[in-house]
Structure 1
């Protein structure tokens, strides 16, 4: 029993930190969190469980201010993850934390729900990013239930959903809350718990579509000129043009493979990662030129068949959306634009320019790869001429 007490597990964490050469100041911060864990558990002789760790990690409100403490959220969660790793394997895992480890309930009644949900998602055919969002939100909710003494979904009701969302709202932005609601609702629908799904509507989370921004004509021209400039790396220029002229999402830019590029027809064919739908887009001359320059002259030698890989070793595919965002932002800086931006901005710009050219909405939807054609309608708000044409004249005699 002594090997699973709070004091023993925390001692193993400290030993692992010293063994890995952590700075004394960092270990001191861990010791501070350990003392808080011992107070939370009722002493160092209390038995450590993953449920206890989850509850400790969730105690993120400061007694002094009464508000959410980001420092507590970071420190307590960090310690709980290391203690959990010792409980799982008998050794402390100091490897880089990934979000997939964030939330896994251990109470059998909730853990089986998580396992079944993950199995369903694995065979759902949904994009990997969507699966990750759904899995993460389910884990957060189920571990929240666990930390509040609920051992099965049969014992949950709408008040638990509202309490969970209220806790998120104390530290998440309203835009993130909209994502939380949309990521949590599928779990409840799958479980047949319409009462829990309906409770989300009582939380007052409003879903709105902001008017999509676009590039003015001058900035659009300067960005195209920057992409054609040889002082801009071909990789960054090609990434920018794929979003600017083809409207590709960042995930599709990252996943693009050499075999997807058809040089004979000057087109790119791929299966969209978000929707699973096939998509073929034409390559413009500038895009083809910069893409060929990257593949033939600048791309490092590597066995990875993705088009875009890292400049520095290991020469593997770009890791995430931030890589695309930074590449596009570098080109924007070179063009002298007073802004940063990524593929979303350039997709909006591409849609707006197609609208201005009187391109039918179904065609724009096909080019952008929208699974639902109605998703394209949000871009109509950026077409000033079209919006003005919808304004009715003021009737004679009407007040100004």
Structure 2
């Protein structure tokens, strides 16, 4: 039987992992101090140095008064205490250090309420299902959001669910986009069916989850003018490592139409310099794709790799600017555009898709305006159906004008 580790022993293991993951010395030093404080607290309360989740909660309550009565952001010292408890608990459970961002957290992990075993079974079911990684992450994330709603209503777990609670949850999504709401509620329906199938609940509450009809191609792509794109690219500080990275990423999306999931997963061996090509497995379709590595895109990537990319042993092209240097996640890449757009004063357009995906729209529109056939645009965009590409026709205004007939032409033909 494996011997149980003390808090002090776990802390040393965590520190070794943090050093391996290239956390900054200051971050490691802060963790060491907080871990010693946690160890002293537990020894005073129990006479031992063994960690439990309950002791972690009591420590945070006694030390910083967490959870707080008011809804507010954490201060840096408060976040340090919470990170310490999280890392000790995670290492005890998983034997690994997970990268956390407690600074902007308002609630402590433990969102499963009293349903830890149920959630663990659900997560295992999701992870083993034949779905894309993106779908799996969403099905877990959406259930976390549902449990956070339950906690806000003082519901202790899934066994206390009712039709009224489900209705209130659906009502709380008012104001969100129809597509987003549809996905959230579809995940909840999926979860309730899982609970019924596993005999965790006697009632299949999926019937009580309202259905949302979201029209296809509801969102109109944002119109990026050539001047706006030039302004956006010129606003990026290419003298900094992060700026070099962001510039290369935005060029990949604007010039080649890559999805952010493909940018995130782009590997160094995907860059076929001898052929001036980019070769990768497309995240959404699973197809191997080869695209020409345009000159300006290639030089931007070279500039980043040589002078901006951290010296880390990672097969991925784009890494975080701060230690530990890990591959850029899709969510982080998605925030790049917002940051630089705000910096150069380009406002979001109401009622239009305006995230990183809108830059793909800009590329598709440019190709359509140049007379490129829809089938070719679909292949470049990685669409398996022309229906997926058809929304881009909404923004080809000049093309539509060319198709318009004057009244005289109509009368002549008649």
> Scaled by the length of structure 2, what TM-score is found?
0.61
2:269 to 227, 240, 259: 259
| Counterpart in the other structure of 1:359 | 372
For structure 2, which runs of at least 5 residues remain unmatched after alignment?
A: 1-44, 47-53, 93-99, 198-202, 349-353
Distance 1:203 1:272 in 2: 30
1:349 to 352, 355, 362: 362
Distance 2:322 2:295 in 1: 28
**Bigger shift: residues 138-147 or 343-352:** 138-147
Check whether the contact 1:214–1:346 (CA below 8 A) recurs between aligned residues: no
Distance 2:223 2:123 in 1: 38
| Counterpart in the other structure of 2:222 | 213
**Counterpart of 2:312 in 1: which secondary structure?**
coil
Whether 1:293 aligns to 2:303 is: yes
Distance 1:149 1:391 in 2: 61
> Scaled by the length of structure 1, what TM-score is found?
0.62
1:168/1:392 CA distance change after superposition, 3 Å: same
**Counterpart of 2:129 in 1: which secondary structure?**
coil
Q: Measure how far apart 1:355 and its partner are.
A: 1.9
Whether 1:14 aligns to 2:23 is: no
| Counterpart in the other structure of 2:50 | none
**Counterpart of 1:242 in 2: which secondary structure?**
helix
| Counterpart in the other structure of 2:257 | 247
1:8/1:252 CA distance change after superposition, 3 Å: closer
| Partner deviation per Cα, 1:158-185 (whole Å, 9 max, x = no partner) | 655323212444xx63465344235435
**Counterpart of 1:269 in 2: which secondary structure?**
strand
| Partner deviation per Cα, 1:188-207 (whole Å, 9 max, x = no partner) | 57678998556544568777
For structure 1, which runs of at least 5 residues remain unmatched after alignment?
A: 18-26, 34-70
| Counterpart in the other structure of 2:124 | 119
**Counterpart of 1:245 in 2: which secondary structure?**
helix
| Counterpart in the other structure of 1:137 | 142
Q: Size of the alignment, in residue pairs?
A: 325
**Counterpart of 2:375 in 1: which secondary structure?**
helix
| Partner deviation per Cα, 1:352-372 (whole Å, 9 max, x = no partner) | 112223333333233222355
1:394/1:128 CA distance change after superposition, 3 Å: same
**Counterpart of 1:270 in 2: which secondary structure?**
strand
Distance 2:192 2:368 in 1: 38
Distance 1:260 1:123 in 2: 28
| Aligned-residue RMSD, C-alpha | 4.8
| Counterpart in the other structure of 2:395 | 382
